[in-house]
Amino acid sequence: MSNLYKVVFVLGPPGSGKGTQCALIQKNFGLVHLSAGDLLREEQESKSQYGQLIAEHIRNGTIVPVAITCALLENAMKASGDCAGFLIDGFPRNQDNLDGWQKNMADKVDVKFTLYLSCKVDVCVSRCLNRKQGRADDNEESLRKRIHTYNTQTYPIIEYYEKLGLVREVATCRDTDEVYTDIEKIFKEAGF
Ligand SMILES: Nc1ncnc2c1ncn2[C@@H]1O[C@H](COP(=O)(O)OP(=O)(O)O)[C@@H](O)[C@H]1O
Ligand SMILES: Nc1ccn([C@@H]2O[C@H](COP(=O)(O)OP(=O)(O)O)[C@@H](O)[C@H]2O)c(=O)n1
Ligand SMILES: [Mg+2]
């Protein structure tokens, strides 16, 4: 038996439905959903010394240095007590995220797989523009930058896990419940 935290990374373009599907997985499988983006927004709002830096990265669609994000994730994992594992949504999003995670967390966790939510860009953009969560980055200019960051920095991380045989892809340009049905099978097959 291992005491390591079980982890599933959830990646995909902005608006692909990571937060939506993680909420359903959390409810049905007892994994705790940790969104790197949500943790960064909370940190920014808490008048942290990193507030301005985080706000600039979010508006520009660029990626916050891993030391900040990884510490927020590790603290949230420690604070959540016993659970079936963690859904880490929106991380690792670039090589710096991956390197920092490998250095600080690799020996504390058991990464089961990466759930890759794939979706066409035009669908993703229109979902974000209609999301109405008051986010500073759900506008056309920030979205262009976020999609660029996704294509050039995040997709290569998905390819890295793909080469390790650790990617489970689900197409999300469909109704939420159809997408979730496929995701549920994947988690059951993985023993959750
Ligand atoms: N399968 C779907 N069909 C239609 N709208 C969706 C679907 N999944 C998510 N949405 C909506 O799209 C927006 C973005 O979803 P969200 O889960 O926040 O994506 P992400 O975390 O990947 O950016 C939200 O308004 C959400 O309600
Ligand atoms: N690992 C991460 C995750 C998010 N972020 C920042 O937070 C922003 C919003 O991330 P998010 O995951 O909430 O966005 P969505 O993909 O859910 O739309 C990103 O565009 C980045 O600027 C980051 O810097 N590092
Ligand atoms: Mg999200």
Neighbour count for residue 4 (Cβ, 10 Å): 12
Type of residue found at 169: E
Sign of the Cα pseudo-torsion (188, 190, 191, 192, in order): negative
pLDDT tens per residue, range 6-39: 999 999 999 999 999 999 999 999 999 999 999 9
Q: How far is the CA of 176 from the centre of ligand 1 (A)?
A: 8
pLDDT at 130 over 80: yes
Residue 102: Cβ-neighbour burial (10 angstroms; 0-12, 13-18, 19+)? exposed
pLDDT tens per residue, range 170-190: 999 999 999 999 999 999 999
CB 94 within 8 A of CB 145: no
Q: For residue 117, give the ligand nearest its CA.
A: 1
Give the single-character DSSP code of 69.
H
**2 falls in which pLDDT band (50, 70, 90)?**
low
Give the single-character DSSP code of 108.
T
CB 113 within 8 A of CB 167: yes
Q: How large is the ipTM?
A: 0.99
For ligand 2, atom 15: residue with the closest CA: 14
